[in-house]
Amino acid sequence: MPVKRIDVLNWERLKKWAVPLDDGVDDVLKRLLDMADEHATCGPRKRLEPMEITSAVVAPKRALKGTRLPEEAFKLPILQALYEMGGVGKVSEILDLVERKVKHLFSDIDRQTLPTSTEVRWYNTAKWARKELKEDGLLKDDSPHGIWELSGAGFLAVKARENL
pLDDT digits (tens, 9 = 90+) for 58-100: 445 666 565 788 899 999 999 999 999 999 999 999 999 999 9
51/151: higher pLDDT:
151
Which amino acid would we find at residue 91?
Answer: V
3-state secondary structure 29-50: HHHHHHHHHHHHHHCCCCCCCC
pLDDT digits (tens, 9 = 90+) for 116-133: 888 889 999 999 999 999
Rounded to 5, what percent of the chain is helix, strand, coil? 50, 5, 45
Identify the pLDDT of residue 84: 94
Answer whether residue 42 shows pLDDT above 70: no
Answer whether 0.95 is exceeded by the pTM: no
**Chain length of the chain:** 164
Q: Domain coordinates of the chain in residue numbers?
A: 1-57, 72-162
CATH assignment, 72-162: 1.10.10.10
